[in-house]
Structure 1
């Protein structure tokens, strides 16, 4: 596919991950401009396609908002749902939140309302602070997760600076107060018609609500919505689904 579409993949570590410097004040906006600066420093050209999965999809929303002129396209794969978006019906967000284990709901609430307490929340021993994988993963998700992290150095390398400056600040950025709502975004390709935005949803996904994603796409008819009937949360790690995601990005 790389040869067929004449593309290449650029992966990078967001602030605090791997060897990237931490950013104590990181936000959706700073992560977006990190992407633009990286593109400029590496001289990859005036336009590029961004792909984000799950929590890693919030910078894609940021690119659509803050640097749409730099995009040739965007793909949001099982993207996170911020339960405090202003223009998404609260009943849909409440239903989506209830899909998550109580401990994880409380963690996200702390990240949103009291981010300075998140480190304590994630390290204390009295209350459950995260989800049980068995409650939020399909059997295939479990298999894919084990395949993806079977070499311990992958996780060790990603979290080498500690989970506080990487994972926890990532959660705060993704679930904090956004300066915009996804339904307020404008089509970056309305004039040129050269580019597309795709959203992918696994119908077996136990973490992300299809109803919320579908509502966003109903408000943004220029976003192409893709459903994967047998897909869970880790569809991007399934070869055939990943190829479908890339093919759609390159041809539609």
Structure 2
């Protein structure tokens, strides 16, 4: 084989590798060929935009103001808790927003747990929610709540984590416990998380290649248990906004979410101190015993390590219990806001 042929093959290999490993540019909302901008957005400190929706009573007359953080593959439209009858009765104003890269919020290539917490603080400021507001995070949004407790706790009146996703590499977990929980996941999810944590530069390739199974969550076939399947059957008609969530591209929404959530954090939630030692607020963690996505054993350990968190374990409940269970929505809101 001549050197010219070898050079051509190497160039071809490099071109293939570049296309395989390098994600495409996101389709920025409002740009040429990108999705149209619909609905309100704020402009953040670095020029990015954050899209949001408002629910409940007007903020001018609201007694309680809550910022709601959506989960993986979702958007500002994930606001089922706003359908609770308590929203009107108690005078609650809720703001949901598209996390960076989702829906109509601009991607943030430098996104971290901290940067999203600062985005939330700025959202509260620009919408004039007052010096303190409540925060509720569902599933992957629960990780954002941990960031808020770390970086903007002085702005919080209280916090609730609903079936929060954990990072198996948080150093506060005993290795035997996190390993056992890790191996409860589907094999393809174990591999996907290994790639995310140890080789994030491979994430795009891993989730687009055809040789090995992809993450079950990305493919839409996660380990839902019987309680979750019942919930999904009830809410099937309300999932029309799933395409909206990833309309700017999968990399800056789903893939980036995985890299941030399961990458290396600059703090361990189990080292956090009680932000409400003065008892002027509270933190609550809600989890179902039949959650097939996030092992309940890890939440129990977190609750043991952080006794200032009020832990609520729901028997026979799966990962999505808060979507269709009106009694759960009411309990989350009333417990967070009034302690009842």
TM more than 0.5:
yes
User: Which of residues 137, 140, 151 is equivalent to 2:227?
Assistant: 140
Checking the alignment, whether the CA contact within 8 Å between 2:140 and 2:261 is kept in structure 1 is yes
The higher-RCO structure (CA 8 Å, 6+ apart) is 1
Aligned residue pair count: 251
Q: Trace 1:51-70 onto structure 2 (pairs within 5 A).
A: 51-70=136-155
1:170 aligns with 2:268: no
SS of residue paired to 1:225: strand
| RMSD of aligned residue pairs (Cα, Å) | 1.6
Normalised by the length of structure 1, the TM-score is 0.95
User: Which of residues 173, 181, 190 is equivalent to 1:96?
Assistant: 181
What is residue 159 of structure 1 aligned with on the other side?
246
* Cα distance between partner residues in 1 of 2:227 and 2:297: 22
1:190 aligns with 2:277: yes
What is residue 128 of structure 1 aligned with on the other side?
213
What is residue 221 of structure 1 aligned with on the other side?
307
Cα distance 1:148–1:161, how it changes in 2: closer, same or farther (>3 A)?
A: farther
Cα distance 1:20–1:88, how it changes in 2: closer, same or farther (>3 A)?
A: same
Cα distance 1:139–1:69, how it changes in 2: closer, same or farther (>3 A)?
A: same
Normalised by the length of structure 2, the TM-score is 0.71
What is residue 2 of structure 1 aligned with on the other side?
87
Gaps of 5+ in 2: 1-85
The structural deviation recorded for 1:209 is 1.7
Checking the alignment, whether the CA contact within 8 Å between 1:100 and 1:131 is kept in structure 2 is no
Runs (4+) of structure 1 exceeding 6 A deviation are 132-135
The structural deviation recorded for 1:130 is 1.7
Checking the alignment, whether the CA contact within 8 Å between 1:48 and 1:73 is kept in structure 2 is yes
* Cα distance between partner residues in 2 of 1:116 and 1:104: 17
The structural deviation recorded for 1:152 is 6.0
What is residue 47 of structure 1 aligned with on the other side?
132
What is residue 208 of structure 1 aligned with on the other side?
294
What is residue 14 of structure 1 aligned with on the other side?
99
Cα distance 1:160–1:148, how it changes in 2: closer, same or farther (>3 A)?
A: farther
The structural deviation recorded for 1:149 is 5.1
What is residue 30 of structure 2 aligned with on the other side?
none
Cα distance 1:134–1:140, how it changes in 2: closer, same or farther (>3 A)?
A: farther
Checking the alignment, whether the CA contact within 8 Å between 2:133 and 2:156 is kept in structure 1 is yes
Cα distance 1:225–1:131, how it changes in 2: closer, same or farther (>3 A)?
A: same
Checking the alignment, whether the CA contact within 8 Å between 2:227 and 2:316 is kept in structure 1 is no
The structural deviation recorded for 1:81 is 1.2
* Cα distance between partner residues in 2 of 1:46 and 1:146: 40
Checking the alignment, whether the CA contact within 8 Å between 1:206 and 1:233 is kept in structure 2 is yes
What is residue 70 of structure 2 aligned with on the other side?
none
Gaps of 5+ in 1: none
Per-residue CA deviations over 1:110-162 (Å, capped at 9, x if unaligned) read 11111111111111111011227666112331242354453564011111101
